[in-house]
Amino acid sequence: MILKDQVAIVTGAGSGIGRAGAMIMAREGARIAILDRDADGAAMTAALIAAEGGDAEASAIDVTDDDRLTAAIDAIHHRHGRIDILHNHAGLQVEGNLEDVSLDGFDRSWELNVRSHLVAARAAMPHMRRAGRGVILNTSSSSGILYDRDMVAYATTKHAVIAMTRQIAGDYGRYGIRVNALCPGWVDTPFNEPFIRQIGGRTAIEDYIRRRVPLGRWADVEEIAEPILFLVSSRSSYVTGQILVCDGGETIA
């Protein structure tokens, strides 16, 4: 098992890509600490991991609460004596162009998609630095490297995640800590509902994906879980400050 006895924190692991990533890490021997504001979803992920013989704990927490997030990460380190992996995955889509987007929605997007990643990394970093090792993976999006129609809040925050990832990687590589970003494309989960609503419904999004994505289809969450495992494990031991795009070719089309 490539992650045997490692401790991994995953935010937003109560569903979708976050759940799939947590589960694949658990299968490879990691102890998973799930942080998600959806208590039922977090508990379900922990139960699914346990059913496969893995080790997981779930905490219902809003990761935009700086103090609670920091305290939760410190508590995980206190319980387990180590933090090897932090996957900042929790995120939010808010639709709208410059004139239409809700400013409150923009602020919520920034707090969840960017600030919570920074605060979590800031909390985990002293523990990783003292250990002389650690991996931080930030979920960005293909929207972080291309134009995303009428999604100014989402695209802005996901571009910012990439900049933050590269900056932290450069600053902390000398401590043995790797920091990378994952950019998923179209993955068929409820997360995409704001864009689907904006584009005109399910038929419209299916047509959009057929036209825009060279592979011509959605990704399954398991197809994103495998790149997650690569980036958080020793399989990518000489990879830091990089952006792995998993988008069926959309960004080259």
- Among residues 154, 175, 208, 238, which one is catalytic? 154
> Please, which residues have CB within 8 angstroms of residue 13's CB and are 6 or more apart in sequence?
19, 21, 22, 32, 34, 35, 36, 42, 45, 87, 89
Structure token digits, residue 209: 């994906």
Place of tokens 């799930």: 34
What the block records as the tokens of 162 is: 């990439």
Which token pair is 76? 């995980």
Please state, as a whole number, how many other Cβ atoms lie within 10 Å of the Cβ of residue 238.
6
Tokens 């922990």 locate to 46
CA-based end-to-end distance of the chain: 37
Question: Which residues have C-beta within 8 Å of that of residue 42, sequence separation ≥ 6?
Answer: 13, 14, 34, 35, 36, 58, 59, 60
175 catalytic? Reply is no
Short-list 19, 27, 10, 25, CA closest to 221: 19
Residue 142 and residue 183 in contact, taking contact as beta carbons nearer than 8 Å? yes
Point out the residues that are catalytic: 154
